[in-house]
Amino acid sequence: TYVIAEPCVDVIDKACIEECPVDCIYEGSRMLYIHPDECVDCGACEPVCPVEAIFYEDDLPEKWNDYTQANVDFFDELGSPGGASKVGATDHDPAFIKALPPQGE
């Protein structure tokens, strides 16, 4: 799967959403999250993110290791809805992300 990491926090450019053929990039309150089971590894989202927040899981910089789990935990309650557009923005951001100081500019 692909993983969204810290550069997305408070930026939420959403260019990635337009690229995903399976609509598996879901919106939280501080950042977006890729559903680890719904992502088909097409990779289309990765180059379009203006802040380079998206990585193939094996290429995720070590300092952002926690984001692999964050992209899993976001879906604890949501499960596998099979499409982000019908879900919309939800407040399931993991606690450590909710607790981050304001990011970006």
Residue 24 token pair: 């598996």
Distances (CA, A) of 55 to 31, 37, 78: 15, 16, 23
Select the span of 11-19, 62-70, 73-81, 91-99 touching ligand F3S (CB under 6 A).
11-19
Residue 52 to residue 95: CA distance in whole angstroms: 23
The yes or no reply on residue 3 touching ligand F3S (CB under 6 A) is: no
Among 10, 51, 87, 90, binds ligand F3S (CB under 6 A): 51
What is the separation of C-alpha 12 from the centre of its chain, rounded to a whole number of angstroms? 9
Residues near ligand F3S (CB under 6 A): 2, 4, 8, 11-16, 19-20, 22, 24-25, 32, 34, 39-45, 49, 51, 53-54
